[in-house]
């Protein structure tokens, strides 16, 4: 991962080194076109497929600070916008991460936005159209976004339910980019680049993942991600044997079902028959 300057959680982060990202299609060109018009962007795709790394790469490329908010069900609009805090004998206003980004012209990234409460996500609507305003009711003001402000959200469509999904009225405010796991050749290149693993073992990891992903319809909630393959590759590179690396980085986090775990292990045994 690249190094960057960052403050407290939700603070501005300026990426100083290029985060490695392997393009799959024209996602860089689409994002640059959206940036040129400051259109909000929605990144859709499964866990661990590279959505966050892609955005970090684009923030570095555009030389813009990045504010990342990991959304969750307890996230309130005040968490995003800001609140009054008591400091000593005084009550002072503290900007939330969204407000910081609006003021400073940063890219604000709401990661897994469907995890946030619906009444929280409504606050972003005025920032996603021609107004580019952020109402701050507690201050009685409306902030006009800095010319370089950009809003980006992400979510995993595989987790959609009736209770956890973006409203169509919200989705239609964004340019949508679909992400998936990269083709085998590119995924191998990513693993080699990210882990330093030799190409033969990287290819075996990717081939095994291709077989393992076929178990999606047999009870797995999530399939083997590129991120999990990178973790396994890093463990192999540290000297841990291949099968144990696959077990602890891929199989154990993926399922608690003994039969599914064994089915996954059988796949990895086929590609890593050696003990070392």
Whether 276 maps to a domain, the answer reads no
- pLDDT attached to residue 160: 52
- pLDDT attached to residue 5: 41
Last residue of a domain, one of 155, 178, 201: 178
- pLDDT attached to residue 150: 97
- pLDDT attached to residue 159: 61
Q: What is the pLDDT of residues 47-76, one digit of tens each?
A: 899 999 999 999 999 999 999 999 998 999
What parts of the chain have a pLDDT lower than 50? 1-9, 162, 276
- For 11, 19, 133, the CA distances from 147, given in Å and listed in that order, are 19, 25, 11
Q: What is the pLDDT of residues 132-175, one digit of tens each?
A: 999 999 999 999 999 999 999 999 886 655 456 788 888 999 99
**What angle in degrees, to the nearest 10, is found between the helix axes of 184-195 and 199-212?**
130
Which segments of the chain does DSSP mark as H helices, in order? 27-36, 51-62, 77-81, 97-104, 118-121, 168-171, 184-195, 199-212, 226-237, 242-246, 252-254, 258-271
Whether 23 maps to a domain, the answer reads yes
Structure tokens at 22: 């392997």
Residues 236, 150 share a domain = no
Whether 83 maps to a domain, the answer reads yes
Cα(134)–Cα(113) distance, integer angstroms: 18
Pick from 100, 121, 102: which is nearest to 110 by CA? 121
Range of the domain at 11: 4-178
**Entry pTM:** 0.89
- pLDDT attached to residue 6: 39
Cα(204)–Cα(207) distance, integer angstroms: 5
- For 2, 108, 121, 197, 203, the CA distances from 248, given in Å and listed in that order, are 25, 33, 36, 17, 19
Let me know: does 38 contact 151? Beta carbons within 8 Å: no
Q: How many domains does the chain have?
A: 2
- pLDDT attached to residue 174: 96
Residues 50, 17 share a domain = yes
């Amino acid at each position: 991962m690249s190094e960057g300057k960052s403050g407290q959680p939700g603070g501005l982060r300026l990426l100083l080194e290029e985060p490695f990202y392997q393009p799959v299609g024209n996602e860089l060109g689409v994002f640059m076109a959206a940036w040129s018009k400051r259109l909000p962007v929605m990144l859709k795709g499964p866990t661990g497929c590279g959505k966050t790394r892609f955005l970090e790469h684009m923030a570095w490329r555009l030389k813009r600070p990045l504010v990342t908010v990991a959304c969750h069900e307890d996230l309130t609009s005040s968490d995003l916008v800001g609140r009054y805090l008591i400091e000593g004998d005084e009550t002072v206003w503290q900007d939330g991460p969204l407000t910081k980004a609006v003021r400073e012209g940063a890219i604000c990234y709401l990661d897994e936005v469907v995890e946030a409460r619906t009444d929280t996500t409504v606050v972003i609507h005025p920032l996603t159209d021609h107004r580019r305003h952020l109402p701050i009711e507690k201050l009685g003001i409306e902030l006009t976004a800095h010319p370089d402000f950009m809003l980006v959200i992400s979510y995993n469509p595989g987790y959609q339910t009736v209770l956890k999904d973006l409203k169509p009225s919200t989705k239609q405010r964004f340019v949508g980019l679909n992400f998936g796991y990269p083709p085998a050749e590119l995924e191998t290149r990513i693993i080699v680049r990210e882990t330093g693993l030799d190409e033969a073992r990287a290819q075996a990891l990717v081939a095994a993942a291709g077989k393992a992903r076929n178990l999606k319809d047999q009870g797995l909630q999530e399939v083997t991600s590129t991120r999990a393959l990178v973790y396994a590759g890093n463990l192999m590179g540290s000297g841990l044997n291949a099968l144990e690396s696959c077990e602890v980085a891929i199989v154990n986090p993926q399922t608690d079902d003994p039969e599914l775990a064994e089915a996954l292990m059988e796949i990895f045994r086929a590609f890593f028959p050696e003990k070392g």
